[in-house]
Chain A
């Protein structure tokens, strides 16, 4: 086997390999190629147009000395961790509730999933109106007779991120719920019967039996939600424009503004490289645990 294994290994599934070539090339040229190009040009002082005028790490020094960038990172950390936890918790709770063989399940599922069908721009605008003091909740409560009621999270620097978070959760929880529901449906009925027989309370079954069994679903959800968090941009644009002041700035907006508004490509490249580094730091340990572990075990 091992003697004639080499040629057959190369030509095994030849047609499938040929079919994969375009995608492999796309991945190499578009993803890897452009990433490398971006990183390389982040060491230049390109402005409107890229030019190979090397300045070393100057762009990075400037980036980490810019308060707006630091605020952006901090905002993304706060928003990201809350979004991740809350959307998983909310999504799972909704799924567990819908899984109780309730009536109108299809109706509820559609209602919860519907926001996901809207773009972030529409979501952002809707929530901008809902939270706007002139037309939104504040106005409604005031018209009910509570004249001093104040609720303007989008114009309060300390609250603005939570205003965005509400919109993000409203948009994303439905999808998480559907994924979780699919996972719950994949749990064998016998598991439930067995725990019933043993007299284990339902909540304990969920936490100690069902959730560990749903690990693959959780991993998928985690990746989807995390990628959504990192590219957070359009929701901010539609809902707050980064304001009040710089209170809801995010890294993706920093990159766009640096590249196209300030016309400082290299600064934008440096910022996007830093975003890539951050993502890599999260993904490598995860990939190691997820794929590296299996080979050993």
Chain B
């Protein structure tokens, strides 16, 4: 009798009028700023239509805080249902150790494997021929955002490239405006430095240093130019005593600062502050110099679980993320680019259009996260954080130490 009870319960449940197996699926992510929260809600609502329950596992703080929490939960045997993550060698190690679910079959049965554009997004998800993640959106980091009215009010032309911006900085400074607003958090300073590398140094330099790891090249004149630009950036960001990237964006939107170097996700913040890209806001991909972008972006990963209900819910979430309708609304809210070309963007901003053009021209560089280990990146971060904070730290010394890091990079 007792053995029948679970059976009858299952029968009841499967024939019930309730949505079959309303499973709780915990999804962790670090999308907590205004525009990001709007974006994740799009996915959550689309997922909830399937009858399952979305348990929101938002982790305040940026990836630097969230990533260790997420990896330690997975390695510690308490996996969530799904998690947002960036493509990286950190995740590769988790995949290698068998913690993550292989979604290759789903990609074929749900028919999105060939729809993903650019296909390099899938390459980052692929390990030994199997797909382990679902790309949700493309983000590029190499953007300089300028508040047009700040320049016009001070009798300046809105700069169209980095050098013009540097030339305008002294006038802005005299009028009490911070030329460049940057958050003090380590990841933002690392982002700034690597953006300078791609944009000032060019994509070849970036890939030769991080992928080929040629120390002689890192010591060369091209890299010196990047460090000189970093020194200029250091002077321009003096006085931006804030931590968060969205607060830096706020300074720019308020007109207390002139510009910010940040990924395209910051566009959502500017738009929330009432600015119109193209009219009030100038966006310069590649800082107006080398117009190349990293098409890395975000993806969702699915830890291996044993509960069949959770697996079924995972299947549905996979389909939801790449569905054209979700993609459209989600990327619009987030200010990101969609992961497929077969959808028509509804009145995209000039910045998004420009991003799409660069993508379709194939002017794409690989992300630093996939080229070097978190350890090496951590050392580069420590170096640039110190460099950006200390004006006595000379450009030459910083470059010499950078060469040492590249020589022993892995």
Task: Using CB atoms and an 8 Å cutoff, list the residues of chain A in contact with chain B.
Answer: 47-49, 66-68, 132-134, 152, 155, 157, 241-247, 257-258, 260-264, 267
Contact = CB atoms under 8 A, between A and B. Distances in A.
Nearest to B408: A62
B23 interface: no
Contact of B241 (A49, A67, A155, A261): A155
B243 interface: yes
A260 B385 contact: no
Interface stretch (B40-48, B103-111, B286-294, B373-381): B373-381
B386 A261 contact: no
Interface string B59-73: 000001001100110
B185 interface: yes
Contacts of B241: 132-134, 152, 155
B385 A267 contact: no
A67 B185 CA distance: 19
Main secondary structure of the interface of A (DSSP, over half): loop
20 contacts: A47-B93, A48-B94, A67-B386, A133-B241, A157-B390, A241-B185, A241-B186, A241-B243, A243-B184, A244-B389, A245-B385, A245-B386, A246-B382, A261-B64, A261-B68, A261-B378, A262-B377, A262-B379, A263-B93, A263-B375
Interface residues of B, number: 28
B72, B377, B389 interface centre (most CB from chain A within 10 Å): B389
Interface of B: 64, 67-68, 71-72, 75, 90, 93-94, 97, 184-186, 241, 243, 373-375, 377-379, 382, 385-390
Contacts, number: 71
Nearest to A48: B93
A68 B90 contact: no
Given A48-B90, A152-B241, A241-B185, A263 B385 contact: no
Contact of B90 (A67, A157, A258, A263): A263
A260 B68 CA distance: 5
A247 B387 CA distance: 11
Contact of B382 (A68, A132, A241): A68
Nearest to B97: A49
Contact of B72 (A132, A157, A243, A260): A260
Contacts of A134: 241
Contacts of B90: 48, 263
Given A244-B389, A263-B375, 5 more contacts: A134-B241, A245-B385, A245-B390, A246-B389, A261-B64
